[in-house]
């Protein structure tokens, strides 16, 4: 999916709530995206998400199910693919648990 993404678009990294490990996860993700020639932006508020979504080719949420649910309707409306990194306790909706560092470093 990322390889087919419009090269003028960036990947929006959505972090609406402070969670343990969030800063490290964002740093790793931004570094790895850059290493692969992909731009990214960190989005920290719902208002910022509404302003930025037009330039995003994909969104990755960092948080729990609440973050994923908050972002999903706007992503669907704009037809922007959405993935999630679970930093919460349950993680029913998010794709990856906080082992994201291992996931990114081994990809």
Tens digits of residue pLDDT in 30-89: 999 999 889 999 999 999 999 999 999 999 999 888 888 889 999 999 999 999 888 866
- Total Cβ atoms within 10 A of residue 49: 20
Q: Which residues contact 69 (CB under 8 A, 6 or more apart)?
A: 93
Tens digits of residue pLDDT in 68-81: 888 999 999 999 99
**Cβ–Cβ < 8 Å for 31, 52:** no
Q: How far are the Cα atoms of 41, 71, 78 from residue 57, in angstroms, in the given order?
A: 11, 14, 10
**0.85 cut: is pTM over it?**
no
Per the residue annotation, which of 9, 39, 65, 81 is the catalytic one?
65
Q: Say whether 102 is catalytic.
A: no
């Amino acid at each position: 999916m990322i390889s087919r993404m419009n090269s003028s678009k960036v990947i929006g990294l959505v972090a609406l709530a402070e969670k343990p490990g969030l800063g490290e996860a964002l740093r790793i993700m931004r570094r790895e995206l850059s290493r692969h020639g992909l731009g990214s932006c960190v989005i920290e508020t719902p208002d910022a998400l509404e302003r930025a979504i037009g330039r995003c080719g994909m969104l990755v949420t960092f948080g729990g199910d609440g973050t994923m649910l908050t972002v999903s309707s706007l992503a669907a409306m704009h037809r922007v693919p959405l993935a999630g990194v679970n930093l919460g306790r349950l993680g029913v909706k998010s794709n990856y648990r906080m082992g994201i560092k291992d996931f990114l470093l081994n990809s």
